């Protein structure tokens, strides 16, 4: 018998996150900050846990394995894993400037799907922005130079945002969520991210966070977005 499943989210404490998901949405977690809540996920980096019915306590991936992939509908490829991941993102600080690979590159280099995503702006401070591609077409040589000399932001397309805005972030599009944005994201089930600029921030280990320049150079579209 099939019935609606209630899912418990997985939470992420990335350094740029805030507390709105806990304070305003009553997300139950002890981590701080609460940067992301993965609401619907079969990805191994953060799986949804079923909280009701006979499958309570099992991951969503385990449930699908038990009952069969017909539960995810007729359009999803039956030879692949659950295809989407849905999350909430609370950006108290700006996220790194980054890019995601497409399916072909990600399967070859990361062993998983690529990552195309869609953002719905749930809320935003009056000065909130995001980065969405480049202001004009640049060469690979200029892209690499600007990453290394910290001038990349000079050619990034900065877009003011407001509640209700929607953005389609196709794999290969340079992007970043800015400080003050609360985002609902629907994406491919992938966690492959190539960071190219991070405002000189350090991680919990006290070291500058890793950049992924070579991979980013291989996958980034070096012209303004077309949609």
User: Which residues belong to the active site?
Assistant: 195
Distance between CA 52 and CA 46 in Å, rounded? 19
Q: Is 124 exposed, middle or buried (0-12, 13-18, 19+ CB in 10 A)?
A: buried
Q: Which two tokens stand for residue 105?
A: 């590159």
Beta bridge partners, 208, equal 202
Distance between CA 95 and CA 115 in Å, rounded? 17
Q: Which two tokens stand for residue 129?
A: 């922005």
Q: Torsion over CA of 16, 22, 27 and 33, rounded to 10 degrees? A: 30
């Amino acid at each position: 018998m099939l019935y609606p499943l209630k899912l418990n989210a997985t939470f992420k404490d990335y350094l740029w996150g805030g507390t709105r998901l806990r304070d305003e949405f009553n997300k139950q977690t002890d981590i701080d900050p609460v940067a992301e809540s993965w609401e619907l996920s079969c990805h191994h980096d953060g799986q949804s846990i079923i909280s009701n019915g006979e499958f309570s306590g099992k991951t969503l991936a385990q449930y699908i394995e038990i009952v069969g992939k017909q539960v995810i509908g007729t359009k999803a490829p039956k030879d692949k894993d659950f295809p989407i991941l849905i999350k909430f993102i609370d950006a108290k600080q700006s996220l790194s400037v980054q890019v995601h690979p497409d399916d072909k590159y990600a399967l070859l280099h990361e062993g998983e799907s690529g990552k195309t995503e869609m953002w719905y702006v749930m809320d935003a401070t009056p000065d909130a922005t995001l980065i969405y591609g480049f202001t004009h077409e640049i060469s690979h040589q200029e892209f690499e130079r600007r990453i290394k000399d910290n001038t990349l932001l000079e050619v990034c397309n900065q877009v003011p945002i407001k509640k209700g805005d929607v953005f389609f972030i196709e794999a290969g599009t340079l992007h970043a969520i800015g400080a003050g944005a609360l985002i609902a994201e629907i994406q491919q089930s992938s966690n492959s991210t190539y960071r190219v600029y991070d405002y000189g921030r350090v991680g919990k280990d006290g070291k500058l966070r890793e950049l992924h320049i070579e991979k980013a150079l291989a996958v980034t579209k070096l012209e303004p977005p077309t949609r």
